[in-house]
Structure 1
Amino acid sequence: MTTIKASPKLVTVFGGSGFVGRHIVRALAKRGYQVRVACRRPELANHTQPMGTIGQIQPIQANLRYRWSVDRAVEGADYVVNAVGILFESGRQSFNTVQDFGARSVAEAARAAGAPLTHISAIGANDGSESIYARSKARGEQAVLETSPDAVILRPSIVFGPEDSFFNRFADMARYSPMLPLLGGGKTRLQPVYVGDVAEAAAMSVDGRVAGGRVYELGGPEVLTFRECMEHMLDVVDRRRPLVSVPWPIAKLQGAILGMLPGHLLTSDQVTLLKSDNVVSEEAIRDGRTLSGLGITPETVDAILPSYLWRYRVAGQYTRVGRHA
């Protein structure tokens, strides 16, 4: 039987200035929590403060590589959320440092402070995966559960929303490129999940409405192939671009080259990750460890994409959809 806990007053959100993190901060602020946004560069987290009332949201410096800063950020907190994650390695920010060692540091700090923990992972986390990203995510989950057995772990699929790095990336590419690549033929199955739904699940866990010690898999209402995702995106931005199949070996080579360029448009590890389907498992569905199981009705891709991809149309919001470019 799940014990419903009283709502805590202060929540520390690691990675609260990032894409998923800022939506979690917003969801918590709406519920009346005091939120401490822990990030490497707090001066760049000021955009989170208008999400709440004056003084409700406070950025604080914390770097997962330095345990003392993690302990400081957690001190006095009633709950901790770890939303830190990276899509590519850069400098000292490696997958192992951030998503393995860093996850353990946050879990240990939360345990020392007596604060419950919610950890944001990813569908596809697998210690036996060929992808370094997926292996580090799996080890991070293991570290969390070893340290805090009652922690809540949320595994979202591809997350989409206003600041996402998936649909935005390819919509921007469609403005300049005469074609769009379909890695491996575009057959990989994805289950895009709206960032607001992920944030709601995290906020519910802070409310004490999500059973701990379990891994939840968060996906949207539709399973789409990579090709279908590109077709949805092109419809929204009202552009016609041929979709060209790129065999995995060539995609891997492209990733190795593009991964060395500024912006990291594509990396070889991301290519490896895209070889596997990224969908909610049948086991999670059966056990109710999904958005629907938590009582959340997930948003569809078609309902959300037009709200932010309009800027990639030829004339932005003034484009008459259906004319194509």
Structure 2
Amino acid sequence: MQQLVTIFGGSGFVGRYIAQRMAKAGWRVRVAVRRPNEAHFVRMYGAVGQVEPVFANIRDDRSVEAALMGADAVVNCVGILAEAGKNRFDAVQTEGAERIARIAAGMGLRRMVQLSAIGADAESESDYARTKALGEGAVMRHMPEAVILRPSIVFGPEDQFFNRFAAMARIGPVLPVVGAETRFQPVYVDDVAAAAEAALQGKAAPGIYELGGPEIATFRELMQQMLREIRRRALIVAVPFAVARFMGAGFDLLQTITFGLFRNTVLTADQVRNLAHDNVASGDLPGFEALGIEPTSMDAVLEDYLWRFRPSGQYAQIKESARNLRT
């Protein structure tokens, strides 16, 4: 009989790659999301009926219980980068993770993968990092055999990092960057999914894994690499943290006084606090090596999805070849 995995947030950026891998591995996949009508695309990841989107709200016990009914394993990919409405950091990343682990343990599930982040720290001044760490602790209390994955910034075709800044470079000559010298260790989304698959298949020891790619680069260097890929020039302007804190607080206030009519997707005060710290693997915890996975470099992937931001789009390489022939 096929095993069943429930993936909370399975239609999101990382979750959809985990769903694809588990379907390919022969598992039945239940994609638990708040809006299943917007997640029908996940059905194409497997045979008819193998991958199914279902409704789930991780803030509600009954909803989580229904999504876990009959499952053999669970993955929690739900997380937020900014608060809005009822989706607060504590409610989603701490209480939501605890709820999933508690109910899964009560149902007798033994395998759980919790998606966290490098920099998770219960003592952090950042609410994002603090609640990620508290969520980890809650999961381990209920599911001591769980696997916690802490990736650095994740890149891939649907990312909100390189795609966002490439779009900005396409419409303007200036690229403002907060934390220009902050270091990152970007990790390819399918490598994170491969780590989750290894854990679900019982090929990973319980505990925390820090997942970083093969390259470490500053925010400025990442923007320079992105600009080279899209064949554009832009002035990278380092925004001082004092200015960024003022900007983040201002945008947060605007969201509050408009009762959410303006949603702050630009820059939050909490994001500024996060950007003040490097986002690289500490070296004190196991990583891809312990899972037998060789991480993918940015050079091998970025061109595959950033080409659309080039001035000539898909024809850029043809034009470059033509110029080389003329010379």
TM-score (norm 1): 0.93
Which of 240, 244, 251 is the equivalent residue of 1:247?
240
CA contact (8 A) 2:84 2:263 kept: no
Q: Which secondary structure does the structure 1 equivalent of 2:284 belong to? A: helix
CA contact (8 A) 1:237 1:312 kept: yes
Which of 71, 74, 86 is the equivalent residue of 2:68?
74
- Residue type of the alignment partner of 1:273: N
Is 1:315 the counterpart of 2:309 in the alignment?
no
- Residue type of the alignment partner of 1:251: A
- Residue type of the alignment partner of 1:174: A
- Residue type of the alignment partner of 1:271: V
Identity %: 51
Deviations, residues 169-205 of structure 1 (Å, cap 9, x unaligned): 1111111122112323x11010000000000000111
State the Cα distance separating 1:263 from its structure 2 match.
5.9
> What does residue 122 of structure 1 align with?
117
> What does residue 291 of structure 1 align with?
288
Query: What is the distance in 2 between the residues matched to 1:176 and 1:253?
Result: 25
Mapping for residues 97-136 of structure 1, pairs under 5 Å: 97-115=91-109, 116-136=111-131
Query: What is the distance in 1 between the residues matched to 2:302 and 2:50?
Result: 30
Query: What is the distance in 2 between the residues matched to 1:165 and 1:303?
Result: 18
State the Cα distance separating 1:149 from its structure 2 match.
0.9
Which of 221, 236, 251 is the equivalent residue of 2:214?
221
Deviations, residues 141-168 of structure 1 (Å, cap 9, x unaligned): 0100111111110000000011111111
Which 4+ runs in 1 deviate beyond 6 A? none
Deviations, residues 20-49 of structure 1 (Å, cap 9, x unaligned): 100110111110100000011111111111
Query: What is the distance in 2 between the residues matched to 1:97 and 1:322?
Result: 51
Query: What is the distance in 2 between the residues matched to 1:84 and 1:231?
Result: 31
Which of 171, 174, 182 is the equivalent residue of 2:177?
182
Which of 127, 152, 163 is the equivalent residue of 1:157?
152
Query: What is the distance in 1 between the residues matched to 2:31 and 2:199?
Result: 17
Is 1:235 the counterpart of 2:232 in the alignment?
no
> What does residue 325 of structure 2 align with?
none
- Residue type of the alignment partner of 1:182: V
Query: What is the distance in 1 between the residues matched to 2:2 and 2:194?
Result: 16
Deviations, residues 111-143 of structure 1 (Å, cap 9, x unaligned): 011112111100010011111100010100010
Query: What is the distance in 1 between the residues matched to 2:320 and 2:287?
Result: 36
> What does residue 83 of structure 2 align with?
89
CA contact (8 A) 1:10 1:77 kept: yes
State the Cα distance separating 1:312 from its structure 2 match.
1.1
CA contact (8 A) 1:70 1:106 kept: yes
CA contact (8 A) 2:2 2:26 kept: no
Query: What is the distance in 2 between the residues matched to 1:36 and 1:148?
Result: 20
CA contact (8 A) 1:122 1:137 kept: yes
- Residue type of the alignment partner of 1:275: A
> What does residue 25 of structure 1 align with?
19
Deviations, residues 82-101 of structure 1 (Å, cap 9, x unaligned): 11111111111111111000
State the Cα distance separating 1:257 from its structure 2 match.
3.5
> What does residue 141 of structure 2 align with?
146
CA contact (8 A) 2:18 2:193 kept: yes
Which of 56, 59, 71 is the equivalent residue of 2:50?
56
> What does residue 297 of structure 2 align with?
300
CA contact (8 A) 1:181 1:245 kept: yes
Superposition CA RMSD, Å: 1.5
| Rg (Cα) greater in structure | 2
Query: What is the distance in 1 between the residues matched to 2:130 and 2:315?
Result: 45
CA contact (8 A) 2:7 2:19 kept: yes
Query: What is the distance in 2 between the residues matched to 1:197 and 1:143?
Result: 25
State the Cα distance separating 1:254 from its structure 2 match.
2.1
Query: Which ranges of structure 2 fall in alignment gaps of 5 or more residues?
Result: 256-261, 322-327
TM-score (norm 2): 0.92
> What does residue 4 of structure 1 align with?
none
Query: What is the distance in 1 between the residues matched to 2:295 and 2:38?
Result: 30
Q: Which secondary structure does the structure 1 equivalent of 2:81 belong to? A: coil
Query: What is the distance in 1 between the residues matched to 2:135 and 2:164?
Result: 27
